[in-house]
Structure 1
Amino acid sequence: MSVVEDRHALVLGATGFLGRHLVLALGRAGVRVSTASRSHESYRRLARWLAEQGHGHETAPADLRVDFAEPSLIQGECDDVTEIYNCAGAYRFGMSADDAHRANVDSVRAVVAFAAQLPRLRRLVHVSGYRVGGQDPALWSDERRAAAYRALGPYEASKAEADAVFQVVADELGVPWSIVSPASVIGDSVTGESDQYLGLASSVKDLWRGSLPALPGNASTFVPVVAADYLARFMSLLPLDDAAERASYWLLDDDTPPLPDLLTLIAEHYRITAPRVRIPVSLVKRLPRRLTKADPETLTFLSSDRYPTASAHAFAARHGLTMPDAVTTIRRWADHLAAHRFGDAPADDRRFTTPGGIRTFELGDAAAPTVVMPGLPVNADTWAPVVTAMGGARAVDLPGLGMSGGHRDDWPTWLSALITETGARHLVGHSIGAAAAVEAAAAHPGAVERLTLVAPYFLQARPAPTIQWAPLTRGYLSHVSPEALAKRLTGTTEHASALRSSVADLRRGTVAANVSRLLAAAAKPRWREDLRAELRHYPGRVHVIVGSHDPLTPDGRALLDALPHATVTVVEGAGHQLQLTHPEEVAKAIASVSIAP
């Protein structure tokens, strides 16, 4: 029997970020895996995630229950377990000392005691932390515990105590062990995927939203990172290496840029301006929390310390494990964080692309030929229910709008690339997006097979004159609440939750200014006439969808009646923002003429 066939891994904390990557790495290595979670629903979420990564049902891990309050710890068969990975514990700031001790120290004692009972165990792998790893093996006195918890905060102190207690108890009970002390675990090196939003990710969030007033630290401030998949693969190899028994490894990328440079790197990738002011760590630690907006426990991580990584590098070299490029991983992680709105939009099929070199947010089926371009002042997220209902479609934010970079002058290049590079053949344009769709079809009439124009403003009544004063509109949009915007767009606050992401976008960077300028431009007679002329010459099929409360003008209807391949659908009871008020009807209308891949 081979070593792999003989391996049976038990993963505690398997439903967490690191835990699920570890389960995936073990599974891909051919190791039989059991996972211990607190509920079957947690296991089901893990199984769904594994399936999305191509880890099929036939290789799904066994589902066991864990209860750290019970002496037995695990409910399920574990006698043939050969290795245990302890990824459990609490990664949370603001805990009480008792809660932190119970979650991170008492749980370690329970895991080691359980491991000591297993007859075939070869290795117990414990996850510590780069700031607390390498503790002397000793049980802490009450005095030492109290002092450490005051100085470091309950989270970091409990992890330091757990590191020490783990070694002592494991040696006392004769349990073979290894420790990994990872740095900030960021996204998968290939996909950037991450659902950890504490620590460094919170600074990236502030940077994205434009609420980071200054860059903390200087050229020596080192907040290292490590890719989740690299860490998981490293851990999965530890039981195979006898030299790793009773060894601790610091897992981090020594090439992580200093913190201010790291944040500047991400700002450049986001194509936004990083704060020019740098604030010393010593001053950050003295400022009140209301100014730093940082939990005091996180400030100890702002350090110039370096860490002993030589043994980890040697281990990786022995096993042919190569650390992924730090800058590439950081950029992919930053993309994933922003695309998923830092946890506010956890659904899959969200990404940034670069048609024509323009950073573009997109949701839905990446290969779909049907592409939705939203109107103003909303974003692609408002079309997510329609795209989901349709299937085989995607929605993109126009340049300079929503979460996309660029501006109006980028439209020709961007639209051309959308068609020629991404395979867009059925353009669905809403309001200002209808203008973009018509301009794209005029430039590429042979490639755009069909146009669906939803509330095409240039075939409808002109807006109120006040919309043409861009500064007034910009001021309003920069401060509007979701409730107020919903009331203005739909006549009710019922759709406020669907507009929260649009409001967040309007408060970021130049988005509100871009929207206000486009709204003003859309009211100009010349552009409206140009769009009508281009539509008259388009040879393909045209489908127009409008709400009964936002009808076509008589001359707009006459233009469509004169086209040989034009149809009109009227959604009863709808206004200009049909995707918000009548998503199912809109999806059905669009899908009736959608194009198969």
Structure 2
Amino acid sequence: MMANQSSKIVTVFGGSGFLGRHVVRALAKRGYRVRIAVRRPELAGFMQPQGGVGQIFPVQANLRHDWSIERAIEGADTVVNLVGILYETSKQSFESVHKDGAEAIAKATAKAGLKNLVQISAIGADLESDSDYARTKAEGEKAVQAAVPEAVIVRPSLLIGPDDDFFNKFAEMSRFSPALPLIGGGETKFQPAFVGDVAEVIARAVDGELEAGQTYELGGPEEKSFKELLEIMLSETQRKRLLLPMPFGIAKALAWWTEMLPSPVLTCDQVTLLKTDNVVSDAAKSAGRTFEGLGIKAQSVEAVVGSYLWSYRPAGQYEANRAR
């Protein structure tokens, strides 16, 4: 039975997103009062049934306006920043969200006299990276640590689970495309992490169980290549598709074209990211700042994706019966 934390308030920036929904649920189960800070609070009302009456409440916050951030944090005991983007748009850049937004939240947290801040970054965050995504994630970490040295940084690998941006995207693509691209030959390694497991670590950080001022890297129990992940997806969706090796140069040219779409399938920056493996570092392993170090048995890819990829089968959940 979780300890009752009903007197404590946690402000979760980006709490209505893919990871945020799981984080809010984990915090609510622990008894925290959760304040979901988002740009459009009227669209986050669906989160409230995950807790008791009045336990979860959305508030408006815009990372461009310090006063709205400070208002969202006022009276809170802990702050969690989950805000991030996978590609840039005309209104949002990696710099403004990952660096400037994280810095604004950290400074407001410090101004409120709080030391309890959990910042979500990503494995591969590197100030010297050629990827704008990875570089700005690292710049955000640096800004957060400068404002709140006690902040806990959490770096997940590829997040998977219902509504994820990886398996769902390629499963949808396989519905109409006879071939799927193996960018760079499909050799890039990932350590996919179940979103619920990552949310549990964040909740433990809010509980104060993680070491202040440290960085944790979260990857699933197995390293999988990009090709292996697509093969798992095709097996679960019961589709046969050609996996076509695509050199990075050609992939970048294709990405340049798709970036003109409202919701690009692939961006040039994502192609750059795929040139580097996305796995837990040896330093994090030796320091025990991983799932294993925290005593959490992370779920495997195969144990997770079957619960939602069935919907992409030619006959959905009835595919098995149709084959008889």
- Normalising by the residue count of structure 2, what TM-score does the alignment of the two structures yield? 0.81
Unaligned runs of 5+ in 1: 136-143, 188-192, 342-350, 361-398, 400-405, 411-597
Residues of 1 paired with 2:72 and 2:82: CA distance? 20
- The 1:10/1:97 distance shift into structure 2, 3 A limit, reads closer
> 2:11 aligns to what?
10
Match of 2:107 in 1: 113
Query: 1:181: how far off?
Result: 1.1
1:156 shift after superposition: 3.7
In structure 1, what is the equivalent of residue 59 of structure 2? 64
| TM-score of the two chains, using structure 1 as the length reference | 0.47
Mapped partners of 2:77, 2:123: distance in 1: 26
Alpha-carbon distance, 1:96 to partner: 6.2
Q: What is the distance in 2 between the residues matched to 1:21 and 1:206?
A: 26
- Which amino acid is 2:300 matched to? D
Percent identity over paired residues: 17
What is aligned with 2:77? 82
Instruction: Pick the aligned partner of 2:144 from 138, 163, 166.
Output: 166
1:152 is matched with 131
Change (3 A) 1:227 1:313: farther
Which whole-Å deviations, capped at 9, do the CAs of 1:476-528 have from their partners, x for residues lacking one?
xxxxxxxxxxxxxxxxxxxxxxxxxxxxxxxxxxxxxxxxxxxxxxxxxxxxx
Tell me if the contact between 1:94 and 1:295 (Cα under 8 Å) persists in the aligned partners: no
Q: Please give the alpha-carbon distance, in whole angstroms, between the structure 1 residues aligned to 2:320 and 2:255.
A: 34
Partner of 2:22: 21
Cα distance in 2 for residues equivalent to 1:3 and 1:38: 29
Instruction: Tell me how far apart the structure 2 counterparts of residues 209 and 313 of structure 1 sit (CA, whole Å).
Output: 44
What CA distance in whole angstroms lies between the structure 1 residues aligned with 2:73 and 2:54? 18
Q: What displacement does 1:283 show?
A: 5.1
| Contact in 1 for aligned 2:20/2:82 (Cα 8 Å) | yes
Alignment counterpart, residue 232 of structure 2, candidates 265, 272, 296: 265
2:302 alignment partner AA: V
CA deviations 1:423-462 (Å, max 9, x no partner) are xxxxxxxxxxxxxxxxxxxxxxxxxxxxxxxxxxxxxxxx
Superposed, 1:193-208 pairs within 5 Å as 193-194=162-163, 196-197=164-165, 201-208=168-175
Aligned counterpart in structure 1 of residue 302 of structure 2, from 291, 312, 327:
327
> How many Å separate the matches in 2 of 1:315 and 1:84?
21
1:531-542 map, 5 Å = none
Within 5 Å, which residues of 2 pair with 1:12-411? Answer: 12-47=13-48, 51=49, 55-58=50-53, 60-74=55-69, 78-89=73-84, 91-95=85-89, 99-119=93-113, 121-132=114-125, 151-153=130-132, 155-171=133-149, 176-187=150-161, 193-194=162-163, 196-197=164-165, 201-218=168-185, 220-241=187-208, 244-279=211-246, 281-282=247-248, 284-285=250-251, 287-289=253-255, 294-303=266-275, 305=277, 306-308=279-281, 309-310=284-285, 316-317=291-292, 320-335=295-310, 338=312, 352-354=316-318, 358-359=319-320, 399=322, 406=323, 410=324
| Residue type of the alignment partner of 1:107 | G
Which structure has more RCO (C-alpha within 8 Å, separation ≥ 6)?
Answer: 2
Please give the alpha-carbon distance, in whole angstroms, between the structure 2 residues aligned to 1:186 and 1:317.
18
Q: 1:30 to 1:98 in 2, by over 3 A?
A: closer
1:202 shift after superposition? 2.8
Which residue identity is paired with 2:39?
R
Secondary structure of the structure 2 residue equivalent to 1:73 = helix
Deviations 1:148-198 (A, max 9, x none): 6xx424x44332321222222323xxxx200111122121xxxxx21x44x
1:411-450 correspondence runs (5 A): none
For the pair shown, the structure with the greater C-alpha radius of gyration is: 1
Q: Is the 8 A contact 1:217 1:259 kept in 2?
A: no
Deviation at 1:65, TM superposition (A): 2.1
User: Quick one: which amino acid aligns to residue 60 of structure 2?
Assistant: R
Residue 116 (structure 1) shift: 1.0
**1:237 positional shift:** 0.2
State the distance in 2 between where 1:20 and 1:290 align.
32
Conserved? CA contact 1:249–1:312, under 8 Å? no
CA spacing shift, 1:221–1:244, aligned 2, 3 Å: same
Query: What do the CA deviations read for 1:373-413 (whole angstroms, capped 9, x no partner)?
Result: xxxxxxxxxxxxxxxxxxxxxxxxxx4xxxxxx3xxx3xxx
The Cα RMSD (Å) is 3.3
Aligned residues: 313
Q: Distance in 1 between matches of 2:180 and 2:72?
A: 54
User: How far apart, CA to CA, are the structure 1 residues paired with 2:155 and 2:14?
Assistant: 16
Distance 1:304 1:77 in 2: 37
Q: Decide whether aligned partners of structure 1 residues 311 and 32 sit closer, same or farther in structure 2, where only a CA change above 3 A counts.
A: farther
CA contact (8 A) 2:152 2:210 kept: no
Matched AA of 2:270: T
User: Secondary structure of the residue that 1:307 maps to in structure 2?
Assistant: coil
Change (3 A) 1:353 1:213: closer
Q: Contact 2:119–2:153 (CA<8 Å) still a contact in 1?
A: yes
